[in-house]
Amino acid sequence: MDNITQKLMQKSESTKKDSLGKMISLAALILIVIVVVSIFAFVMSRGLSTFITGGVHVKDFLFGSTWNPSVVNPQTKQPYIGALPMIIGSFLVTFLAAIIATPFAIGTSLFMTEIAQKRGAKIMQPVIELLVGIPSVVYGFIGLTVVVPSIRHIFGGSGFGILSGTIVLFVMILPTITSMTVDTLKSVPRHYRESALAIGATRWQMIYKVVLRAATPGILTAIVFGMARAFGEALAVQMVIGNAALMPHNLISPASTLTSVLTMGIGNTVMGSLQNDVLWTLAMILLLMSLVFNLIVRAIGRKGEMK
């Protein structure tokens, strides 16, 4: 066998590198999958043990309105583990923050992409990126020293509550929604705009009949991402919401969210006890909700495209 044949039969240097690269990335992928699967398994096994070994009914947990896991209800012989106040609190702050943030986010991003592109790129873009990077404890601290006293002055009471939580979350998710909306608006093809203007549309008609319509799925995705962030935010909300596991009667009375109850309680309970398990069940709900948010994003991406 001559030299050339031998060379051709062997793996070349590049092929070896190619398969090595493939292997490294596959290994990274598998590691991530292992981590994700074990987190899921751990949270699930802990969370479900409330129902399996704790003997708690799922219905009582999801729809009960009294939360006091260390006290046993004398009638049913079960602890008070109604998580409804927290579930409602979480959804309330999330939706309210998203509802307030969305018009601001769309307005800002329209200004940046359609009206003042140069200034938008130069000033607004860095500002928004800076806001994304501010740690949540800073937002919480500002909420505690500025928002809560203002609410107390205006509405009375203690100032802690859903409203304060909404305001803090609104500021927190605004940059998230804005930057994603900007990306979507930028990706609307230029010839859409040109065609609209060519047939005599004003700039505003072009924006709301063509650009916004074409960008709707992207904007919805941005809003859902913002909501996912709001739903999972723990620290900033815990600092301003008051952490009372009560059904929210109005926006300025103390309430709580799934995350705030978790961070408050996890250090004060004993691993393996029911009080600890119910906290894991709350964590499980949070995990499932973030899964739901992800599914919504995918569904929007698949079905929402303009036809």
Partner 1 sequence: MSKSHRGAIVSTIVAVGIVAVFGTAYAARDKGATGTSITAVGSTALQPLVEAAGEEYAKANLGTFINVQGGGTGTGLSQVSQGAVDLGNSDVFAEEKEGINAKKLVDHQVAVVGIAPLLNKENGIKNLSTNQLKAIFTGKVTNWHQLGGKNQDIIIINRAAGSGTRATFEKWGLQGAQSIQAQEQDSSGMVRSIVATTPGAISYTAFGYIDKTVVAASVNNIQPTNKNVSDGKYPIWSYEHVYTNGEPSKPVAKFLNYLMSKDIQSTLVPKLGYISIHDMRITRQVDGKVVEK
The residues of the shown chain that bind partner 1, judged by CB under 8 A, are: 19, 22-24, 26-27, 29-31, 34, 67-71, 149, 152, 157-160, 238, 242-246, 254, 256, 263-273, 275-276
Whose tokens are 């009294």? That residue is 66
The nearer residue to partner 1, 116 or 266, going by C-beta atoms, is 266
Q: What is the closest distance, in whole angstroms, from the C-beta atom of residue 20 to partner 1 in the complex?
A: 10
Q: What is the closest distance, in whole angstroms, from the C-beta atom of residue 160 to partner 1 in the complex?
A: 6
Whose tokens are 């802690």? That residue is 160
Q: What is the closest distance, in whole angstroms, from the C-beta atom of residue 102 to partner 1 in the complex?
A: 29
Q: What is the closest distance, in whole angstroms, from the C-beta atom of residue 97 to partner 1 in the complex?
A: 20
The nearer residue to partner 1, 77 or 190, going by C-beta atoms, is 77
CA 179 to each of CA 64, 116, 202, 281: distance values in angstroms, whole numbers, following the listed order: 39, 16, 26, 33
CA distance linking residue 12 with residue 10, whole number of Å:
6
Q: What is the closest distance, in whole angstroms, from the C-beta atom of residue 5 to partner 1 in the complex?
A: 22
CA distance linking residue 256 with residue 263, whole number of Å:
11
The nearer residue to partner 1, 198 or 270, going by C-beta atoms, is 270
Which is nearest to 181 in space by CA: 274, 255, 101? 101
Q: Which residues of 40-78 are buried (b: 16+ CB within 10 A; e: fewer)?
A: eeebbebbbbbbeebebeeebbeebebbebeeeeeeeeb
The angle, 0 to 180 degrees and rounded to 10, between the axes of the packed helices 212-232 and 84-110 is 140
The nearer residue to partner 1, 107 or 149, going by C-beta atoms, is 149
Q: Please give the single-letter amino acid code of residue 177.
A: I
